[in-house]
């Protein structure tokens, strides 16, 4: 018996990295999972084939688009019924120092990382409430708590997610809808693979556990927040960062 048996979950940015780990873990715990991807058609199709079309379905959708988010929720609820767990995981980086940052670099990060949370959550609220005990899990970042040079846009978007989530938790708690945040630290993904070794070493020096995290460790935290194990956890920020903060 899985911790998510009978749950219908929607995970954005689910074809690769942390998102794919969450999809796999949710299916392993008994959930039926709908997940989105933007351009990674091959990885999305491979993930569905790996898990089985009866357990997972991929939808190509732009989380930064209000109208696309509305259509996605319509499609998912038509296919599976009311969503009980929403994991807002999709996000991008456009790193550079603020004095060099273009308006497009700012806007694209805010649209994909923060506006997308508004888009998906707003349209998913009614299905989540109808599920009887909905859970929204928003993926922020340790950078949204601490800040980071060269990531003013990314840090601002991830900090905004925390404020949004705490507000939603207060608004919707009376409807038995919970909203919590995960702030991953430095996790082994395609993004961290591209970092210079010297920079990785400087990060490791500040992490008490002395290693990077892995995507499955974030997925386990999502299972906790999506399951009845966290039935009285609402409006919280869970740092999964090896003790960095």
Q: Is 14 annotated as a binding residue?
A: yes
Q: Is 187 annotated as a binding residue?
A: yes
Indicate if 232 belongs to the active site: no
- Rounded alpha-carbon distances, angstroms, from residue 210 to 138, 205, 243: 26, 7, 9
Q: Is 13 annotated as a binding residue?
A: yes
Q: Is 115 annotated as a binding residue?
A: no
Q: How far is CA 245 from the centre of its chain?
A: 20
Alpha-carbon dihedral 19, 22, 27, 29, rounded to 10 degrees: -170
Exposed, middle or buried, 96 (CB in 10 Å: 0-12/13-18/19+)? middle
DSSP for 48-103, written as a single string: HHHH-TTTEEEEE--TT-HHHHHHHHHHHHHHH-S-SEEEE---------GGG--H
Cα separation, 13 vs 114, whole angstroms: 14
- The active-site residue out of 37, 154, 203, 232 is 154
Task: Answer yes or no: are the C-beta atoms of 91 and 112 closer than 8 Å.
Answer: yes
Q: Is 9 annotated as a binding residue?
A: no
Cα separation, 227 vs 84, whole angstroms: 10
Q: Is 227 annotated as a binding residue?
A: no
Q: Is 157 annotated as a binding residue?
A: yes
Q: Is 17 annotated as a binding residue?
A: no
Q: Is 61 annotated as a binding residue?
A: no
> Residues annotated in the binding site for NADP(+), as ranges?
13-16, 89, 154-158, 187
> Residues annotated in the binding site, as ranges?
13-16, 89, 154-158, 187
Catalytically active residues are 154
């Amino acid at each position: 018996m899985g911790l998510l048996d009978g749950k219908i979950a929607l995970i954005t940015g689910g074809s690769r990295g942390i998102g794919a780990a969450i999809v796999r873990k949710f299916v392993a715990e008994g959930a039926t999972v709908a997940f989105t991807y933007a351009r990674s058609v091959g990885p999305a199709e491979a993930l569905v084939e790996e898990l089985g079309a009866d357990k997972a379905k991929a939808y190509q959708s732009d989380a930064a688009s209000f109208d696309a988010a509305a259509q996605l929720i319509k499609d998912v609820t038509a296919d599976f019924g009311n969503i009980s767990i929403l994991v807002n995981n999709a996000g991008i980086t456009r790193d550079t120092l603020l004095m060099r940052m273009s308006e497009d670099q700012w806007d694209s990060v805010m649209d994909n990382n923060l506006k997308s949370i508004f888009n998906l959550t707003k349209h998913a609220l009614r299905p989540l409430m109808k599920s009887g005990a909905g859970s929204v899990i928003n993926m922020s970042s340790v950078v949204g708590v601490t800040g980071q040079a060269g990531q003013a846009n990314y840090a601002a978007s991830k900090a905004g997610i925390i404020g949004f989530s705490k507000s939603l938790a207060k608004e919707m708690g009376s409807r038995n809808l919970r909203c919590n945040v995960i702030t991953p630290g430095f996790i082994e993904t395609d993004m961290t693979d591209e970092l210079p070794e010297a920079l990785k070493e400087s990060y490791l020096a500040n992490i008490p556990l002395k290693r990077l995290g892995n995507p499955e460790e974030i997925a386990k935290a999502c299972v906790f927040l999506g399951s009845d194990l966290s039935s009285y956890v609402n409006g919280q920020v869970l740092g999964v960062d090896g003790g960095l903060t």
